[in-house]
Amino acid sequence: MSQQGERPAAHEDDWWRRLYDETAADAGSTNAADSLDDRFDSASDAVGPAGRGGPGGDDGDSGTDAAVPDPRTPPAPPVRTRAPWEPPAEAERAPWEPPSGAAQPRDLAAPPAPASPLVEAPPPTPPPGAERPGTVDGPPPAPAAPPPVPAPPPPEHVPPLPRRPVAERAEEAPEEPAPAGATDSGSGAAPAGPAPAAPGPTSRPGLMYVGDRPPTYDAEPTALPATTPQELDGLVADTVLDGARYGTYTLRAASVRGDSARFRGEPRRDALLTVRFGAAENALVLVAVASGARTAEGAHLAAADACRWIGGAVGRSHARLAEDIRAGRRADLKSGLQRLTDRSYGRLRARAAELGLEPHDYTAGLRCLLLSADPDCRTRVFFGVGGGGLFRLRDGVWRDLEPDVPASGAVTGEPVVGFGSASPESGPHGDRLTMDLGITTPPSPYIESPPPPPAEPFRFRASVARPGDTLLLCSTGLAEPLRGEPALADELAERWTPPEPPGLAAFLADTQLRVKGYADDRTSVGVWEA
């Protein structure tokens, strides 16, 4: 019995007895042909028409012989139509598409440049002693032409662009001179590559100075001013650059330390202030330029104070000043601005007294521009005290707009009471009778201070700008070379002629255009009218 309690249907060794039964007769050898040719003929009959019940019968002795394909020729693959969503096969891959196989490692070095298809590369030169091909068995076979690369078909939704004739494209492309030893493509030399684009015209030429000789000092800063930890608040930078655009004008302003001050390590004595008061069309732009005395020790501090105090005075009255400028009230503007300027100089004299200095040791020349932000207002107002320059560039010609100031002592007209006239009580016809007794007047017991220096006259000018004008306000460091060196005036006129005003960097480079013999600080303010 089996392990499950069932009775087996037969003995377990019956299969062994049936396979190796000694009583069974041996089949022995057979008389049938069993060679390789016989097996091939049998297989041919089986797959032919005779083996499939054709007219030849089952044994294949009669009937038509079937054509057996060559076992070495692979059968043609069945034609299968690719679905639109399936990726293209390798044969249908476009030249710019990557192969469908796994990515292989590649070298990061740049591949060699392909040879031009119009020029046949010369054959490589064999090393010495090597046999040249074709010397024994005849000339070498011609190299096979590379298979043409099929051009990618254009997308269906984008029509191809029309090609212009070669003659038109040849006229537009500038001709480049061929390199040395190069000939045209017909002689076998490689044609020149695409011509590099010619650089466009620079906005500013590389001219660093005008005149017969270069200036004595270097063009770049050399030494820094000496200072102490207590004087850090009074430091001024070597260069100040600013700009803006309001209404119909573009503003550029720059102040640069002179070559002489750069060489000696002195601070810049010129000060520049650009500020806007108000908003929208009621806004008022003030540009103030102050130049300290050359011999004074704290000249840069006095110039900074002058700009700051006139800025505060104008800022407190900017609404009234902006209204007067738009209305063209010239008399009100002149009297009001002169009063504000006198107050600023009064504070300078008070500051000099605090420092224990004389008034002429702590003062500065002051020149200002007032510009309205209203696009309909083209009135430009200039006022100030001291030397400098005010110029206008119109149609490429400079004009000096500096207001005329009478020289000291040049008084014309009849004497008036209080100025150049004698007392009404004196003289033979006067009311006072006096007698000269010849008594010498004793000296005064008080020490009289020296008389104050003659006050600088107040300068004022209001003008209406025209489209295309350029107004230039500058300190003495730029006004003197403009008046004394015609080459500088011509160069700046060429650079600053419209249609477009210069940028900040270009305006700074123009301001630093040097002239031999003029090494003072330069501060310039340019206003370009649209």
Q: Of all residues in the chain, what percent carry a pLDDT higher than 70?
A: 54
Which of 213-217, 288-292, 319-323, 370-374 bottoms out in mean pLDDT, i.e. has the lowest?
213-217
Q: Is 525 exposed, middle or buried (0-12, 13-18, 19+ CB in 10 A)?
A: buried
Distances (CA, A) of 515 to 255, 259, 400: 17, 11, 20
Q: Which is higher by pLDDT, 46 or 284? A: 284
Which of 173-177, 480-484, 504-508 bottoms out in mean pLDDT, i.e. has the lowest?
173-177
pLDDT at residue 317 in the model: 94
Full 3-state SS string of 309-362: HHHHHHHHCHHHHHHHHHHCCHHHHHHHHHHHHHHHHHHHHHHHHHHCCCHHHC
Q: Does the pLDDT of residue 24 top 80, yes or no?
A: no
Pairing of strands 514-515, 209-210: parallel
Tokens representing 180 are 């040395």
Q: Is 419 in contact with 514 (CB distance < 8 Å)?
A: no
Q: What value does the mean pLDDT take over residues 426-449?
A: 52
Order the strands of the 397-400 sheet from edge to edge.
Answer: 239-246, 249-256, 522-529, 470-474, 389-394, 397-400
Q: Does the pLDDT of residue 15 top 70, yes or no?
A: no
pLDDT at residue 524 in the model: 96
Q: Which is higher by pLDDT, 520 or 81? A: 520
Q: Does the pLDDT of residue 526 top 90, yes or no?
A: yes
- Virtual CA dihedral for 301, 302, 307, 311, nearest 10 degrees? 100
Q: Percentages helix, strand, coil for the chain, rounded to the nearest 5? A: 25, 15, 60
pLDDT band at 94 (very low <50, low <70, confident <90, very high): low
Beta-carbon-side half-sphere exposure of residue 202 (alpha carbons within 13 Å): 5
| One-letter identity of residue 440 | T
Q: Does the pLDDT of residue 222 top 90, yes or no?
A: no
Mean pLDDT, the chain, whole residue set:
73
Question: What is d(CA 511, CA 91) in angstroms, rounded to the nearest whole number?
Answer: 69
pLDDT digits (tens, 9 = 90+) for 147-157: 555 555 554 44
pLDDT band at 390 (very low <50, low <70, confident <90, very high): very high
Q: Does the pLDDT of residue 174 top 70, yes or no?
A: no
Q: Which is higher by pLDDT, 45 or 446? A: 45
How many residues make up the chain in this entry? Answer: 530
Distances (CA, A) of 370 to 32, 399, 427: 128, 20, 51
Q: Is 383 in contact with 338 (CB distance < 8 Å)?
A: yes
Q: Which is higher by pLDDT, 363 or 70? A: 363
Q: What value does the mean pLDDT take over residues 389-418?
A: 73
pLDDT band at 290 (very low <50, low <70, confident <90, very high): very high
Q: Is 215 in contact with 492 (CB distance < 8 Å)?
A: no
Q: Which is higher by pLDDT, 336 or 126? A: 336
pLDDT band at 34 (very low <50, low <70, confident <90, very high): confident
pLDDT at residue 162 in the model: 45
- Virtual CA dihedral for 299, 301, 307, 311, nearest 10 degrees? -160
Which of 130-144, 207-221, 325-339, 342-356 bottoms out in mean pLDDT, i.e. has the lowest?
130-144
Dihedral sign from CA coordinates of 103, 105, 110, 116 = negative
| One-letter identity of residue 297 | E
Provide CB contacts within 8 A for 59, sequence distance 6+.
Answer: 45
pLDDT band at 75 (very low <50, low <70, confident <90, very high): low
The closest alpha carbon to 362, from 459, 258, 290, 260, belongs to 290
290-318 as b/e: b if 16+ CB within 10 A: bbbbeebebbbbbbbbbbbbbbebbbebb
pLDDT band at 63 (very low <50, low <70, confident <90, very high): very low
pLDDT at residue 480 in the model: 94
pLDDT at residue 9 in the model: 56
The closest alpha carbon to 381, from 399, 407, 403, 405, belongs to 403
Q: What value does the mean pLDDT take over residues 44-49?
A: 75
Q: What is the DSSP letter of 156?
A: T
The closest alpha carbon to 518, from 497, 496, 489, belongs to 489
Question: What is d(CA 476, CA 384) in angstroms, rounded to the nearest whole number?
Answer: 13
Q: What value does the mean pLDDT take over residues 505-522?
A: 91
Domain covering 238-402+456-529 assigned CATH 3.60.40.10 in the classification: yes
pLDDT band at 77 (very low <50, low <70, confident <90, very high): low
| One-letter identity of residue 125 | T
Question: What is d(CA 334, CA 460) in angstroms, rounded to the nearest whole number?
Answer: 7
pLDDT at residue 78 in the model: 63
Q: What value does the mean pLDDT take over residues 484-511?
A: 92
Helices and strands (DSSP H and E) totals, the chain: 10, 13
Q: Which is higher by pLDDT, 65 or 212? A: 212
pLDDT digits (tens, 9 = 90+) for 305-342: 999 999 999 999 999 999 999 999 999 999 999 999 99
